[in-house]
Amino acid sequence: MERTMPLSRRDLLRIGTGAAAGLLLGRRRVAASPGQVDLITKAVPATGERIPVIGLGSAQTFSLSPGDTEYAAGQEVIRLFHELGGTVIDSSPTYGRSEPFVGRTIQQLGIGKDIFIATKVNVGGAGRDAADRQMRQSLEVYGRDTIDLIQVWNLGDSIRRLSATYLGTHMEALEEWKTAGRIRYLGITTSRDPQYADLEAAMKRYTLDFVQLDYSIGDRIPEQRLLPLASERKIAVLANRPFTTGNLFARVRGRSLPEWAADYGIASWAQFFLKFVVSHPAVTCTIPATGNPGHLRDNMGACTGRLPDEAARQRMIEVFKAL
């Protein structure tokens, strides 16, 4: 996958001097960074807690064990993510070795208390006890008494076997865990439009803090019903697959950014794509996955400067359509 050159720290500091990003946005100081880079944050509707708009995914990138050639680079991605002020890391027990890798790394780095952990639960039809066991394992993996967010992955079933049969059992477990203080937020996820109708029904039926779904400039179907519903129901949105499957970069290979993109602190196509996603009023945070420190630094550049307004978003859409 072709990417633009990663930003230097000097570039990040330059972009971080951008103008205020609007009424819904706030700033989070990055204490560990020279120059005190400001990050764009948004509020979780349920509580008003503010989180940076760029998080970190882990599917297909962090399924690593000591001895793997990519292990050190993966740890550096997490270290750099924290250094640059990132907080939200999303993982799942279903992502191979990703959850143990994230848990081990944040504890070894001594940053566990700074990270907003978003993980998942999905035991299919195995029942409530199995759901409890899986969530207890996540607590152990992260060395936590409380996890920030647990989401029902794919509505509690397989993406290839769509059914609402098991969602109720998973939601019952999450609601009890939240009441007991073992999680701070609960939610549900999907990453494919075949589940959108089921996701919409669940958003209407349950009291949710978060919903996770796929959204990008190349996949705008959620704008039709799901994102407006999230706003109406005051549900925070974690957007996965902000580059779709990575194929957005093939569309822009060899092409220059529009000159006006610099007005929004956009210095690469990755930042162009990410800022489109997080500038949607309903989107709270996006979670691009990467095991490359250079790409991580580039992605985090989208968390600085200012976000496009509606007029700029429309210009971004026209640019993408013309590619």
| 44-88 tens-digit pLDDT | 999 999 999 999 999 889 999 999 999 999 999 999 999 999 999
The two three-digit tokens of residue 177, written as one number: 């865990």
Q: Give me the amino acid identity at 2.
A: E
What span, in angstroms and rounded, lies between the C-alpha atoms of 287 and 212? 10
CA distance 274 to 253: 17
**Arithmetic mean of pLDDT, 98-107:** 97
Q: pLDDT tens-digit profile of 169-185?
A: 899 999 999 999 999 99
Q: How many helices (H) and strands (E) does the chain have?
A: 11, 10
With contact defined as beta carbons under 8 Å apart, do 138 and 119 qualify? yes
3-state secondary structure of 149: strand
Domain count, the chain: 1
> Rounded CA gap, 133 and 44, in Å?
28
Which strands make up the sheet holding 38-43, listed edge to edge? 25-29, 38-43, 50-52
2 located within any domain: no
Separation of alpha carbons 213 and 196, rounded Å: 9
Alpha-carbon span 98 to 291, nearest angstrom: 11
Domain range spanning residue 223? 9-321
pLDDT of 37 reads 67
**This model's pTM is above 0.85:** yes
- In this structure, is residue 103 part of a structural domain? yes
| 3 assigned to some structural domain | no
Please report, for the domain that includes residue 234, its CATH number.
3.20.20.100
Answer with the residue of higher pLDDT: 197 or 159. Answer: 197
